A and B are shown apart, each in its own frame.
Chain A
Amino acid sequence: MPVTIVFLLAMVVLAVASIQVRKAEIAVIYLGIFSLFNAIFYLFYSAPDLSLAEAVIGSALATALFLVAIKGYTLRRTQIKSEYRSPKMRLALFGELFWGVVFLTIGFIVISFYFGTVQDVGKPAWYHYVRSFISDTGARNAVTAIYLNYRVFDTLFEALLLLVGILATAYFLEWPEGKEPEEEIATKPDSEIVARISGLLYPFILLYGFYIIVNGHLTPGGGFQGGAILASVFIIRYFAQRRLGINIFILQRLEKSFFLGIIALSMLLLLPEFMNSDFKVFHLVLMNILIGFKVCCGLAILFFCFIFQQTKVEDTKGRSERG
């Protein structure tokens, strides 16, 4: 599709803008638009699974995390102004120009070298995957077949990565001392309309998220994207009702037990007589469901830690310390 050139140019412009703009808040919004264009670009490069993951995780969740992290600190505009008027400013500008020239020359050499010497020696993995993924794994979506059956060893570490990343975030954000930033997020009452209508949408989004998880092996989707959709229900729910509703302590335990389930299930993959029976397809669905719920719990914890890092909401105050 020649229209992708338009998106590529827009991406480059947005990347430059998000680096050069002075205020971090604006840079983050540019980053969100950049990853939105990135997601649509993947769709035109016929990678629907990837564009889903990038749109869901890259543009919506990443932007939200950035904004929450820099929330308390961009308010002091006066401080930013004073920094950039000092005489050191000219020195910094000169440094940026110098490095710009160095990067342009080296980048040009590398890129021209790359396009001069790139060659393709054939793709045996591609040849084999495309021809035999239906018979081997019983999945209709080759991408799910790969990351749930051929290369399931990687997916185990990916689930572990999400578990550890969320453990780290919860661990760092519970740091007791240090000056508390102003808590203005939790106390703000939200508009009534958003609360009412988003209340209407929950069952629909939950059903849709579960649909994406369950037939991840047929149409694009699967554990990670479906889990993120379910987690978005928690996020909208926070905007509707001020309360947390879900206890982080239980969520952390749930996430770890789902992870153990994933490891146990992938161990079943090793028994050869298990695999050529028709259990293969059921194995895919079960793995997708487990990954989906694990990602949902994980992202929900991630969001609650970030949004509630200052305010321990009253109904979970007692138990929200680390389990």
Chain B
Amino acid sequence: MIPGYLFVLVPIAFGTLLFFTNSRQAKRGVIIFQLALILASLYNLTKLRFLESHVSIETFAGWDRIIGISLKWDLVSSLFVMLTAGLFFFLFLFDYRGDHVDQLFLMLLCTIQGLIIGIFLAHDFFNVFILYEVATILVSILIMFRKDKQSVYDGIFYLLTNLVAMTFFLFGIALLYRMLGVLDFALTREQMALLSDRRALILPYTFLVTALSLKIAILPLFSWLPRAHATPSAPSTVSALLSGLFVKSSLYLFFRIRNIFDPFLELTELFLILGWLTALFGALLALSQKDIKLILAYSTVSQLGLITFGLSLNQDLAFWGAVYHIINHAIFKSTLFLSAGIISEIYRTRDIERIRGVGKGMPLVAAGTIFAILGVTGAPFFSGSMSKYWIVASAKDNLTTLGIYLANFGTITCFIRYSRIFFGVQKNSENSSCSLWKMQHIVVFVMGLFSLFGGLFARELIILFFAKQLPVDPLSYFQKIMIFFASLIGGFFVLRVIERTGILKKIRELDLSFNSVAAFMFLFFSMSFLYLSLKYAPQ
């Protein structure tokens, strides 16, 4: 096994080294480095796969876990590390000819890659906190990389909300350390058993949950995410990276911390409802946006809500379905953002009403985007449908199945509106020259293929990666296909009805200022605190 901290530190050191080379060598060196990283993560994954316990915990410099920092490799995190390496390879390939790409940009991308891998492998509370802080400041540079006027407001909004969330996180760690005296994930679990009264854990758990629920964009606290991911000055690779991968690391961390507190405190009912509401609200807001990148960012919010819903169903099938959905979502969301980047560069506008005729203009990009859209909406034989099927299959009562179909219906209508860009003829055709580099089209097409490939061989991939046998009975899968087509047709009519009324314009004006986000965070904190203290009140 290649030790974990090499995976974290080598990209960061390589990024800093890039600063001393000129930009031509930097671009070539980065792609070669990325290939090596993919091979190393593949090697680690196979080694771990054949280890019978599927888990390996390494400590830095050999100190025991109580005093040192440890990194944990298990099947899910090693697969995410490989996903990170692969996605970054495509992003670097996509950006090979970009005008804004110089050593500083490549250095920032390499460093944030090391940090994301660090968050996936982290096994220590304070280590996760400092990884997030560095990542927040890095992302605030990447968001405002092209330095135009509007993005200053989005940048400071993103930075301040995330810094406040991380202060909550640190307060949670402080409370935990004060009571349990240890910072390692597994050791905290053991120390918790010694606690005489589990109500002592309510306050730290509330602080941690508030911070993490802001990071994974749960209902009241998600308004920073679309503005940060789709700001005009962020290059499309950065938005693809943020929506595709960076949010996933906070989702993965949310899930691991929930596992630590699982036997003692339960918040799953709260997150079931909030996840479902986020999925609905995100799809509604995505429907009302005009800017294509904003549509994609709001659909990320709704997909995250769906994944939180799946994770908090507490069934094994739903868990593996949600994890598989995280991987699929990373692939097709970054494909969509990259294609949106190409489209907005060629058409020089981001307004969805003025973009038509993408199908004829750029066949490869159009094909890749259509594959990704079918993946997101969960069309049959595509990756999205398999993971959503598993989440639905594990939902016992029909209320939750109805809820999931409703959320999916919202996504379908949103992407029906989005796919209008393929048909029709281009209005002002003077800028339809495909001056952009051919490789970008191929990259988008290949990533679109992945979402198709992920759907067809879903069960085999799960067995290969997670050594897990997930049942797919054809009857209920066929029923799901029928429901998909029904909601597709329903989506057409609903879209026509909604667009006549002026609701969409009013929804678009809906916006939260920084004070109301802080107020929502405080309300979320007090709600979950009161909920927990009432639920575990001493009888």
Residues of A participating in the B interface, judged by any CB pair closer than 8 Å = 99, 103, 106, 109-110, 113-114, 117-126, 128-129, 136, 149-154, 156-158, 160-161, 163-165, 167-168, 171-172, 175-176, 253, 256, 259-260, 263-264, 267, 269-270, 272, 275, 322-323
Asked if B200 and A106 make an inter-chain contact with CB atoms under 8 angstroms apart, the answer reads no
Asked if A151 and B137 make an inter-chain contact with CB atoms under 8 angstroms apart, the answer reads no
- Cβ-defined partner of A152 (8 Å) among B17, B61, B533: B61
Closest beta carbon of chain B to A92's beta carbon, Å: 11
Write out the residue numbers on chain A whose beta carbons fall within 8 Å of the beta carbon of B60: 152-153, 269-270
Asked if A119 and B200 make an inter-chain contact with CB atoms under 8 angstroms apart, the answer reads yes
Given contacts A153-B69, A260-B17, A263-B12, are A160 and B178 in contact (CB under 8 A)? no
Report how far A118 CA is from B104 CA in the complex, Å.
47
Asked if A121 and B194 make an inter-chain contact with CB atoms under 8 angstroms apart, the answer reads yes
Closest beta carbon of chain B to A172's beta carbon, Å: 7
Any A CB within 8 A of the CB of B68: yes
- Cβ-defined partner of A110 (8 Å) among B17, B195, B203: B203
Report how far A99 CA is from B126 CA in the complex, Å.
32
Asked if B68 and A118 make an inter-chain contact with CB atoms under 8 angstroms apart, the answer reads no
Closest beta carbon of chain A to B235's beta carbon, Å: 14
Binary contact readout B124-165 vs A (1 if CB under 8 angstroms, 0 otherwise): 001100110110011011001001000000000000000000
Closest beta carbon of chain A to B146's beta carbon, Å: 11
Residue of B nearest to A269 (CB): B61
Any A CB within 8 A of the CB of B29: no
Given contacts A110-B203, A110-B529, A118-B200, are A154 and B104 in contact (CB under 8 A)? no
Report how far A106 CA is from B521 CA in the complex, Å.
13
Binary contact readout B57-79 vs A (1 if CB under 8 angstroms, 0 otherwise): 00011111011110000000000
Given contacts A164-B141, A269-B61, are A263 and B194 in contact (CB under 8 A)? no
Any A CB within 8 A of the CB of B439: no
Any A CB within 8 A of the CB of B25: no
Interface of chain B residues 49 through 101 with chain A (CB within 8 A)? 60-64, 66-69
| Interface bracket on B | 35 or more
Residue of B nearest to A268 (CB): B61
Asked if B179 and A120 make an inter-chain contact with CB atoms under 8 angstroms apart, the answer reads yes
Asked if A118 and B178 make an inter-chain contact with CB atoms under 8 angstroms apart, the answer reads yes
Write out the residue numbers on chain B whose beta carbons fall within 8 Å of the beta carbon of A103: 522
Asked if B178 and A120 make an inter-chain contact with CB atoms under 8 angstroms apart, the answer reads yes
Any A CB within 8 A of the CB of B13: yes
Given contacts A165-B137, A263-B13, are A128 and B526 in contact (CB under 8 A)? no
Binary contact readout B513-532 vs A (1 if CB under 8 angstroms, 0 otherwise): 00000010010001001100
Write out the residue numbers on chain B whose beta carbons fall within 8 Å of the beta carbon of A119: 179, 195-197, 200
- Cβ-defined partner of A168 (8 Å) among B5, B17, B130, B140: B140
Write out the residue numbers on chain A whose beta carbons fall within 8 Å of the beta carbon of B68: 150-151
Closest beta carbon of chain B to A47's beta carbon, Å: 14
Write out the residue numbers on chain A whose beta carbons fall within 8 Å of the beta carbon of B203: 110, 113-114, 117
Asked if B197 and A117 make an inter-chain contact with CB atoms under 8 angstroms apart, the answer reads yes
Asked if B179 and A164 make an inter-chain contact with CB atoms under 8 angstroms apart, the answer reads no
Given contacts A119-B197, A119-B200, A124-B66, are A157 and B130 in contact (CB under 8 A)? yes
Write out the residue numbers on chain A whose beta carbons fall within 8 Å of the beta carbon of B200: 117-119
- Cβ-defined partner of A122 (8 Å) among B62, B147, B181, B199: B181
Report how far A132 CA is from B17 CA in the complex, Å.
37
Write out the residue numbers on chain B whose beta carbons fall within 8 Å of the beta carbon of A123: 181-182
Asked if B144 and A172 make an inter-chain contact with CB atoms under 8 angstroms apart, the answer reads yes
Asked if A160 and B111 make an inter-chain contact with CB atoms under 8 angstroms apart, the answer reads yes
Residue of B nearest to A322 (CB): B104
Write out the residue numbers on chain B whose beta carbons fall within 8 Å of the beta carbon of A161: 130, 133-134, 137
Report how far A99 CA is from B520 CA in the complex, Å.
12
Asked if A121 and B13 make an inter-chain contact with CB atoms under 8 angstroms apart, the answer reads no
Write out the residue numbers on chain A whose beta carbons fall within 8 Å of the beta carbon of B12: 156, 160, 263
Report how far A110 CA is from B529 CA in the complex, Å.
8
Any A CB within 8 A of the CB of B488: no
Closest beta carbon of chain A to B178's beta carbon, Å: 7
Asked if B127 and A124 make an inter-chain contact with CB atoms under 8 angstroms apart, the answer reads no
Report how far A323 CA is from B104 CA in the complex, Å.
9
